[in-house]
Amino acid sequence: MTEQITDLNYDPDPRGSLNWKVFITPGVPTVSDDLPPGETVRMWSPISSTLIYGERDAVLVDTPTTVQQGVALADWVVASGKNLTAIYVTHGHGDHFFGIGAVQDRFPNARAIATADVVERMRWQVSPEVLEGLWNKRFPGQIPERLVMAEPLEDDTFHLEGHELVAVEVGHSDTDNTTCLHVPSVGLVVAGDVAYNDVHQYLTESVSHESRLAWIAALDKVEALRPRAVIAGHKRPDNDDDPRIIEETRQYIRDFDRLVEETVSTRELYDRMLALYPDRINRGALWGSARAVKG
């Protein structure tokens, strides 16, 4: 497990400042018979969960996929010594919310919350179609039996020890109806899968040119918040959280978009992207994106 602690030394008001730290669930092998050329296993990307905390209380953003991963995250939150008041879900992909139950087992009073649109996406994600068609295939016997839904937020703003936390709806990014959690008092954006940090991006749900433009527009919205730190939902564990990842994520989409036009096959698109991004984590995600576009 990797833990990164950010001490801001930044205290804008007498309430005391918020801090955050990031728990990274490592990338793991999954079951798939559609392997990228030359690879022997289809991986899942590392997943970030962010604990935003004050003197006593904390809010957790996103929880990972499997039973074991959820328990490991819950143990880490317990070890922080903070009182968890809420679990915020950035978007409706199972690898960002299946672990809610494991965390609530330790913090029964922590409410799971998300925007109303994200809650809708979560419901679809736990439908038999998606659960059997994707999750139980890739992670057989590892997905929690009890999957907890978030409650829809009535207001986009909630509070942690007097500081505002703002759910910012940015529309389509790596799926539809995605959000970031903005903490204005410390300049933090927990970006969910709007921004990636040195990990191949999941463009499987961005098959059209328009949807790729929409993801770029979502990143423009994040940039307009002028964050000091941006936590990507999928990041290389040792990387920092510099806002430069906003532009890196956009550039990857622009390159993919251009190469979709310049290539004819899955393999050609995959190879051309890999030539530009040889070192990003999880080539399987790129293979999936190329497949989705080229068939």
Footprint of Zn ion on 88-147 (CB under 5 A):
93, 95
Tell me the C-alpha distance between 231 and 215, whole Å. 17
Residue with smaller CB distance to Zn ion, 17 or 204: 204
Closest to Zn ion by CB, 53 vs 202, is: 202
- Least Å distance, CB 48 to Zn ion, is 9
Contact between residue 69 and residue 35 where contact means Cβ atoms under 8 Å apart: no
What is the Cα–Cα distance from 104 to 3, expressed in whole angstroms?
21
Compute the least distance from the CB of residue 47 to Zn ion, in Å.
Answer: 7
The CB-of-281 to Zn ion minimum distance in angstroms stands at: 13
Q: Based on CB atoms, which residue is closest to Zn ion, 95 or 241?
A: 95
Residues 6+ apart with CB under 8 A from 45: 27, 199, 200, 202, 234, 281, 282, 285
Is 62 an interacting residue with respect to Zn ion (CB under 5 A)? no
Report, in Å, the least distance between residue 96 CB and Zn ion. Answer: 6
Residues 222-251 that bind Zn ion (CB under 5 A): 233
Contact in structure between 120 and 169 (CB atoms under 8 Å): no
Minimal distance, residue 24 CB to Zn ion, in Å: 13
Question: Which range binds Zn ion by CB under 5 A, 9-17, 19-27, 85-93, 106-114?
Answer: 85-93
Site string for Zn ion, 173-212 (x = CB under 5 A): --------------------x-------------------
Give the number of other Cβ atoms within 10 Å of residue 157's Cβ.
Answer: 11
**E strand residue ranges, 144-273:** 151-152, 157-160, 163-171, 178-183, 188-190, 196-197, 229-231, 234-235
Contact predicate 179/115, CB 8 Å: yes
Structure token digits, residue 100: 């809610």
CA distance 153 to 101: 19
How many residues sit close enough to Zn ion to count as binding (CB under 5 A)?
A: 4
Q: CB nearest Zn ion: which residue?
A: 193
Binding site for Zn ion (CB under 5 A): 93, 95, 193, 233
